[in-house]
Amino acid sequence: LRAMEGDSNISLKSLKVDGGACANRFLMQFQADILNTEVHKPECIETTALGAAYLAGLAVGFWKDQEEIKANWALAETYRPNMTQEKRDSLLAGWWKAVKRSFAWED
């Protein structure tokens, strides 16, 4: 995410999640904490299939425009950061350490 922010010059204000993993409250809270940003979970978490259905419906005129589709999105839960910067920095340092060690793995 930080690489995308750097490439786009746009700061992350929040993160919208979907898929089966977002049913895990611990994981969603951890993402909010480690990213230091709000994480928004929709009521319908299976949005990959829903997105395909929306596009098909838009193509055949079932929906008049994207705004009509956007109106169907509903927020189920918001996870807010609740971690100290010191703890976040410590966890991220450990993660980067693990990433660097993985470069030495051989097949």
> Please, what are the domains in the chain?
2-101 (3.30.420.40)
38-42 and 75-79 strand pairing: antiparallel
pLDDT in tens, 55-75: 999 999 999 999 999 999 999
CB 43 within 8 A of CB 18: no
Q: State pTM to two decimals.
A: 0.81
Work out the mean pLDDT of the chain and round it to a whole number.
93
Residue 107 confidence class, pLDDT cut points 50, 70, 90: low
27, 24, 40, 35: which is closest to 78 by C-alpha?
Answer: 40
Quick one: tokens of 39? 């994480």
CB 31 within 8 A of CB 42: no
15, 13, 32, 6: which is closest to 75 by C-alpha?
Answer: 15
Question: What number of residues does the chain have?
Answer: 107
